[in-house]
Amino acid sequence: MTTQARRLLRATGFLGAVFLILAVAAVASAPTASGGTSLLSGRAFADGVIARAVDEATADATVSREDMGPLGPMDDVLGRQAADAPPWFEQEVLPLAEACDLRALDDWSVVGFTMAGEVATVRQWVVASLEERGWALVETGEGATLAGIKEGGTCPWLLLSCTPVGDEVCIVVQIPVP
């Protein structure tokens, strides 16, 4: 077995264990509704985030949900420019020079952007860029999602998806908080 195959096997095993631990922890600590049903649905999470954001926004000013965009006050906060990216992101993850509609959390643990082109071409560019930076990537089996690990650096693992949206491709990268 080659070194790369062993690394890939270790990466797959490691990510599988991480996902299993996260799933068990989420189920064990999941809040329940009054009927005893789990509130782990995406809709319940999104409603909670929007409600908290509106509460925070209305604490300082009189703002209604109708006065905000679809993501509430987060619409203004999440927009970024490539120059806003911390140096480690472009060095270790992906270059953002051609990124459009760049969105990122304050800690850059979740980054999303679009690129013009067909999904196969853009995905090939993304994979090549990550492999140049030392990432070992594997298919997760969930749609067009890839998982990657890397030895050394700020980011030890990542999850990546490339989804076609009209004439563009939406790329979302999730990494642990550095």
At residue 132, does pLDDT exceed 90?
A: yes
Of the candidate ranges 61-65, 90-94, 99-103, the one whose mean pLDDT is the lowest:
61-65
Which phi-psi region, left, alpha or beta, contains residue 36 (left: φ > 0; alpha: ψ -120 to 50)? left
pLDDT confidence band for 74 (50 / 70 / 90)? very low
- Pick 133 or 50 by higher pLDDT: 133
Percentage of the chain with pLDDT > 90? 26
Quickly count: other Cβ atoms within 10 Å of residue 70's Cβ: 8
Which residues are within 8 A (CB) of 165 and not within 5 positions of it... i.e. 6 or more apart?
A: 114
Find out whether 92 and 157 touch, Cβ atoms under 8 Å. no
Q: What is the pLDDT of residue 149?
A: 94
Query: What mean pLDDT comes out for the span 44-50?
Result: 58
Residues 161 and 98: their CA atoms lie apart, in Å, by 17
At residue 58, does pLDDT exceed 50?
A: yes
Query: What mean pLDDT comes out for the span 147-175?
Result: 91
